[in-house]
Chain A
Amino acid sequence: MIETGIRLMTGGEAVAEAMRQIDPDVVPVYPITPQTPIIQGFAKFVADGRARAELVNVESEHSAMSAAVGAALAGARTMTATSSQGLALMAEVVYIAAAMRAPIVMALGNRALSGPINIHCDHSDSMLIRDSGVAQLFAENAQEAYDLTVLAPRLAEHPDVLLPVLVCQDGFTITHSAEPVALLDDDDVAEFVGDYAVPHSVLDTAHPTTQGPFAMPDYYFELRRQQACALESSLEAFTEVATEYEVLSGRGYGPLEAYRLNGAERAIVALGSSAGTIKDVVDELRDEGDPVGLLKIVSFRPFPAERAAALLREVGSVIVLDRADSPGGAAPLHAELAAALYGSGTELRGHVYGLGGRDLHPEDIRRIFAGEAERYVGLRGAACPV
């Protein structure tokens, strides 16, 4: 059986392989579509004796994240996975995991939040925990989901970071679609991730600590800033870890990916798998002589605002595509770009697309670039208020 090299696999299978190679100590998890193939694949590795993790079959995602916090703070390298309603149920503890600086790595199969109940992709689940203080990296395809997962423990456990890291992959579009994925050797991954050393283990009875203490008005503000500052400064750690990963894998990553932005007069900014479709359309339009480009956001949290603004400085018109809405306000990615580009004179407009798994076709992207698309791409009926 070929363990490494290029294999045909889904994003879910690729992340299960990454987890086997990382070989975490504890994995508390509850199944949910479309994340299930990740943990199903990993559970089989554990059952077959090919991964050593203590797989904790919890009764809910709230418990999964609670167990993950305890395990990570005890000194166990801890991973979990979820989607949509599972993340919603975890949300309370996700904030606590970030505040207690527990470096948990989570695979997220992005799925629309209920209601109406739906199992397909959008980014509303990620946006629900936008302000929790965790890092969120978005993959464009199965290869990126694999690479970012291998990279994630190093980022989460970096001494300047120590925060949960979510590796987000679009539900079904990536989790369930097979494509060629280049895997690293098991030994190389083991060496790359190294050992996890917790700063203050809750099980170290010789050096007892109080973790997650009550903070009154005199200290809450300071502790929130300390936590936020760790996330804000983690862009540097990301670059450091990604540089090392590139030496190992030959595949480079950054918080952003500029695609044909040189000389671009119009550029789309987007997250996730849609970036792949947009790249194809950018290539076609460039061949037709239309100067367009793409800025793909890999790290949505922390958001690399200054770098985004620098990369878009020469672009006259920026079009932001959000796969999540913020009823009553600006869509999340649009709001980030509006803040990043404020005062630059760059023309900015935004579209919401793909909610609940609605496809974004190349023809839609052409209409978006041409300024002919609806604000809500493909929505039947006029946008409200009319």
Chain B
Amino acid sequence: MPELTTWNALRRGGVVVPGEAERPRTGGWRTGVKPEVDLSKCVNCLLCWLYCPDSAVVLDGTTFTGFDLTYCKGCEICAEVCPVDAVTMVPEEVAS
């Protein structure tokens, strides 16, 4: 948790400028499953990139390279829209 600021240290009206917003790592909200890709099946259509509500699909230029789970909620939309079934949802590893 960042330190909470006083009322007079906040920008007027609560205006937030880039870089100042709190960044809760909402990937922690995932409830048991995460996406996994089989790159040998992927045709790089980028539908998963278009549909992902959390920008969890990582590209190198215009080439799909994998998932960044920092903000992934495990919603399964990527697996649902993948036309070649390259994305599957797998159980989360449980921390020992």
Contact = CB atoms under 8 A, between A and B. Distances in A.
Interface of A: 99-101, 162, 199-200, 207-213, 215, 218-219, 221-223, 225-227, 229-230
Contact of A226 (B4, B12, B21): B12
A100 B15 CA distance: 8
Interface string B3-27: 0111110111111111001000000
26 contacts: A99-B13, A101-B13, A162-B13, A199-B15, A200-B11, A200-B15, A208-B17, A209-B16, A210-B16, A210-B17, A210-B21, A211-B15, A213-B16, A213-B21, A215-B14, A222-B7, A222-B10, A223-B10, A225-B7, A226-B8, A226-B10, A226-B12, A226-B13, A227-B13, A229-B7, A229-B8
Nearest to B5: A222
Contact of A223 (B4, B14, B17, B18): B14
B70 to A, nearest CB: 20
Nearest to B14: A223
A222 B10 CA distance: 8
The 8 closest A-B CB pairs, nearest first, are: A222-B7, A101-B13, A210-B16, A225-B7, A226-B7, A223-B14, A100-B13, A209-B15
A100 B12 CA distance: 8
Nearest to B6: A222
Nearest to A211: B15
A210 B10 CA distance: 13
A210 B5 CA distance: 18
Nearest to B1: A218
A210 B4 CA distance: 19
B10 to A, nearest CB: 6
B17 A218 contact: no
Nearest to B18: A208
Contacts of A221: 7
Contacts of A230: 12
Nearest to A214: B14
Contacts of A162: 12-13
A218 B16 contact: no
Nearest to A226: B7
Given A162-B12, A209-B15, A222-B5, 18 more contacts: A99-B13, A100-B13, A200-B11, A200-B15, A207-B17, A208-B18, A209-B16, A210-B17, A212-B13, A212-B14, A213-B15, A213-B21, A221-B7, A223-B7, A226-B7, A229-B7, A229-B8, A230-B12
Interface centre among B5, B10, B11, B12, by most chain A C-beta atoms within 10 angstroms, is B12
B16 A219 contact: no
A211 B7 contact: no
Contacts of B5: 222
A213 B13 CA distance: 9
Point out which of B5, B6, B10, B15 has the most chain A C-beta atoms below 10 A from its C-beta: B15
A216 to B, nearest CB: 10
B7 A101 contact: no
Interface in B59-92: none
Contacts of B18: 208
A211 B4 contact: no
A221 B14 CA distance: 11
A219 B12 contact: no
Contacts of A100: 13
B14 to A, nearest CB: 5
Nearest to B20: A210
